[in-house]
Amino acid sequence: MAKQKSTEKELKDNLKTNTFTSFDKFWLQCAALVIIGFCFYANSFVNGYALDDGIVIQKNDYVQQGFKGISKIMKTDAYDSFYRSMNAKQQLSGGRYRPLSVVTFAIEQQLFGSNEKEKPENDVAMVRHIMNVVFYILSLVFLLYFLQTFVFKDTPLVAFLTCLIFLIHPIHTEVISNVKSRDEILSFLFIILTFISAFGFRETKKTLHLILGLIYYFCALLSKEYAVTLVVLIPMLFYIVNKDTMSRSLFYVLPYLAIAVIYLLIRYSIVKSGASGENPDVLNNPFKFATTPEKWATKIEILNHYLRLLFVPYPLSSDYSYNSIPYTNFGNPMVWFSILFHLSAVVATIYLFIKRNIIAFALAFYLLHLLLVSNLIMNLGATMGERLIFHSSFGFAIIMAVFINWLLNKISSAQTKKIIVISFVCLITVGSSAIVIPRNAQWKNDASLFIADAETVPNSALVNGNAGKAYLDMADTTKNKTEEKKLIQKAIYHLSKSVAIHTQYVNGYLNLGVAYYKLENYDSAKVEWDIAKTIYPNNPFLQRNFGLLAQIYFNKAMAIGDKNPLQAVVYLEKAVDISPADDGYWYNLGGASFMAKDFEKARNAWNKAVELNPNNENAKQGLRALPIK
């Protein structure tokens, strides 16, 4: 009997050393996560706006209206304001109805935004970056509570390691540092709150838990559509963790299923099915130029890229659009590796689910969210994105934490375990910080982001185009003429590369024209803008650009008109070619032609001026001065 008591005491002591009792207190683990989180992302507070922040926040009329814009935000596509400004229809398949994060931007604008008509470039940016980090860390606090209270009751170390791995994973820098990606953070936060309330209701049967759970779930759906997976994941977790029967587990999810249906009906009533027909731009339709076998092979192979980034999150990029990831085919062995790996993961999920193993939930969380962003069941308008793997990485974090705990259980010495855990935590924290902190700095603005990413994805048309635009903006701010010319030449390099990769890239041609305009190579500028016009005739920037160019040719003609009327005619012909509705340009073309003694050209020009403006007395006087035929 004494020997049995001694054995029981040893087992209890061993359990305590396994779970590091001195660090098992929730508030200690919570404090560690909060401190590490703020240390990792504090340098993002000074960042401005980058990537899609401009169209979702800065140039979003509804956000800029503050409280007044909230009703419009709730009733429209997330990009509605942008589409209107560009004279465009909905561009993306399925539409984008994610109003909750956009509402928070409107609230921040109301409370902290400038009242000036012309807003400062980084208006409210610091507040928004801080709030992204706050929401992110808050989601980790609730995640730790959820895992310790309901999932890993006996192994709090697994709960903490899961949260730590998720917190510091470098692949999350886009979600945290890009303000617009708050939709991902809020989605995850409300998913965890839904889990907590669902388990709370199951254990207490208190109606309040059910009501809160349904509210949280609806907020998760309003943040991003990914929360539809919970109608599968909630009963799955009940079955695995609480050992409920399948029918009982499904019974508890019925109210959430009703909320999901209501949300989908609301969503469809607002954005319908999104863009009608195939998007003509490969930047929003990444598989446009691929054959059908190439489309499927490439989509399948891209899953490997997500997997690699989870294990080796370096280098990172804000963009993976055309043509950063070349099309592939089924002759590529990596396509078959992806098929084999992911089918094996599905089989493992089913097998482990039957065994009520928590890894089944982790795999399901990974695979279900991966499926939603894989382009396999719906076209996203993007090849892949680091923000898109944010939710799936939670499943990855659970698997890693459980695996580490399994390895620790192979070690008998408590002291050795403690040393290994502390060393591991320090190693991955320091290693991740070496990637995360510098990457946050690259997200400071478009210029720093795209210039950095042009090295990472040199074959991306979008990144090269945006890097070129960044160099143009930098050229505007320097007073050193030599440096300005060097920056413009760098812009031309990247912009030329962007349109070589994607020959229909309108912004590339527009900015390439601007670069030549700045170098006073006006004919080349016109060539680029003419190409842009053939692709997108109604682009709102074209009229302004052509107007400036016509004015340049007119000014040149006026400067030399008396001395060299023939050359003045050449410039004025370029002006009227660009702005054929300007009667003033036609009048002056007639005058220059008259001075060059080309009376027929003068007659035609003045007649055109009068046709455009019957009150143009100068043109009429010119016509009277012409020799009679």
Determine which of 6-20, 84-98, 444-458 has the lowest per-residue pLDDT on average: 6-20
- Predicted local confidence at residue 81, as pLDDT: 81
Same domain, yes or no: 103 and 63: yes
% of the chain residues with pLDDT over 70: 94
Whether 201 is covered by a domain: the verdict is no
Query: What is the reported pLDDT for 508?
Result: 95
How distant, in Å, are the alpha carbons of 98, 109, 215, 269, 284 from that of 221? 8, 23, 10, 15, 24
Query: Is 564 in the same domain as 432?
Result: no
Q: What backbone phi and psi angles, to 5 degrees, belong to 46? A: -90, 0
Residue 188 counted as domain residue: no
Residue 101 domain-assigned (yes or no): yes
231-239: long-range contacts, CB 8 A cutoff, minimum separation 24: 231/256, 231/257, 231/260, 232/364, 232/368, 233/361, 233/364, 233/365, 233/368, 234/194, 234/195, 234/198, 236/353, 236/360, 236/361, 236/364, 237/151, 237/195, 237/199, 237/361, 238/202, 239/353, 239/356
pLDDT at 477 over 80: yes
Helix axes 461-477, 446-456, angle to 10 degrees: 140
- pLDDT of 265 strictly over 60: yes
Are 402 and 333 part of one and the same domain? Answer: yes
First to last CA, the chain: 131
Q: Could you give phi then psi for residue 262, rounded to 5 degrees?
A: -60, -45
Task: Kindly give, in sequence order, each residue whose CB lies less than 8 Å from that of residue 290, ignoring residues fewer than 6 positions away.
Answer: 298, 327
Q: What's the structural domain count of the chain? A: 4
Instruction: Give the pLDDT mean for 231-256.
Output: 94
Q: Is the pLDDT of residue 180 over 60?
A: yes
Task: Say yes or no to pLDDT of 17 above 80.
Answer: no
**Mean pLDDT in the chain?**
91
Q: Do 374 and 434 share a domain, yes or no?
A: yes
Q: How confident is residue 276, by pLDDT bands cut at 50, 70 and 90? A: low
In a domain, 190, yes or no: no
The answer to whether 359 and 402 have CB atoms below 8 angstroms apart is yes
Q: What is the 3-state secondary structure (H, E, C) of 331-390?
A: CCHHHHHHHHHHHHHHHHHHHHHHCCCHHHHHHHHHHHHHHHCCCCCCCCCCCCCHHHHC
Residues sharing a CB contact under 8 Å with residue 401, sequence separation 6 or more, in sequence order: 158, 159, 161, 162, 165
Q: Is 595 in the same domain as 504?
A: no
Q: How confident is the model at residue 93 (pLDDT cuts 50, 70, 90)?
A: low
Residue 1 has pLDDT above 60, yes or no: no
Q: Which residues contact 77 (CB under 8 A, 6 or more apart)?
A: 83, 90, 95, 96, 97, 270, 271
Question: Domain boundary residue among 127, 153, 182?
Answer: 127
Kindly report, residue by residue over 364-379, the tens digit of the pLDDT. 999 999 999 999 998 8
Domain span at residue 51 reads 45-114+123-127
* Contacts (Cβ under 8 Å, ≥6 apart) of 336: 330
Q: Examine residue 173 and state whether it is found in any structural domain, yes or no.
A: no
pLDDT at 8 over 50: no
Phi, psi of 93 (to 5 degrees): -65, 135
Q: What are the angstrom distances between the C-alpha of 509 and each of 464, 490, 517, 535?
A: 12, 15, 12, 10
350 and 299 assigned to the same domain: yes
| pLDDT-derived band at 11, boundaries 50, 70, 90 | very low
- In the structure, what pLDDT confidence band is assigned to residue 18 with cuts at 50, 70 and 90? very low
Collapse the DSSP code of 403 into the 3-class scheme (helix H, G, I; strand E, B; otherwise coil) and give the result. Answer: helix
State the average pLDDT over residues 4-19: 44
Q: Is 503 helix (H, G, I), strand (E, B) or coil?
A: coil
Residues 582 and 508 in one domain: no
Q: How confident is the model at residue 70 (pLDDT cuts 50, 70, 90)?
A: very high
Helix (H/G/I), strand (E/B), else coil: 274 = strand
530-569 confidence digits (pLDDT tens) = 999 999 888 888 888 888 899 999 998 898 877 898 999 9
Note the pTM of the prediction, 2 decimals. 0.87
Residues 304 and 423 in one domain: yes
The CATH number that applies at residue 525 is 1.25.40.10
> Which distant-in-sequence residues (6+ apart) come within 8 Å of 291 by Cβ?
none
pLDDT at 107 over 80: yes
- Nearest-10 crossing angle of helices 99-112, 207-223: 90
Q: What residue has token string 């931007």?
A: 105
Q: Do 355 and 494 reside in the same domain of the chain?
A: no
Is 37 a domain residue?
no
Distance in angstroms (rounded) separating the CA atoms of residues 72 and 51: 23
User: Is the pLDDT score of 618 beyond 60?
Assistant: yes
SS3 93: strand
H-helix or E-strand spanning residue 146: helix 125-146
How sure is the predictor about 216, in pLDDT bands with cuts at 50, 70 and 90? very high
User: What would the mean pLDDT of 286-314 be, rounded to a whole number?
Assistant: 96
**Residue-level pLDDT at 23:** 63
Residue 31 domain-assigned (yes or no): no
pLDDT of 275 reads: 60
Question: Which DSSP symbol is given to 147?
Answer: I
65 vs 496: CA distance, rounded Å: 38
For residue 594, the cross-strand partners are: none
Least confident of 90-94, 164-168, 254-258: 90-94
Question: Is the pLDDT assigned to residue 217 strictly greater than 50?
Answer: yes
Same domain, yes or no, for 50 and 89? yes
Same domain, 512 and 554: no
Closest CA to 305 of 346, 329, 338: 338
Average pLDDT over residues 212-221: 97
Q: Say yes or no: 405 and 427 in one domain.
A: yes
pLDDT in tens, 304-357: 999 999 999 999 999 999 999 999 999 999 999 999 999 999 999 999 999 999
Of 477, 506, 538, the domain-final residue: 538
Q: Encoding tokens for residue 336?
A: 């078959």
Residue 205 forms part of a structural domain: no
Residue whose C-alpha is closest to residue 181's, from 385, 40, 322: 385
User: What share of the chain in percent tops pLDDT 90?
Assistant: 72
Whole-angstrom Cα distance, residue 483 to residue 489? 10
pLDDT of residue 24: 73
Last residue of a domain, which of 100, 127, 154?
A: 127
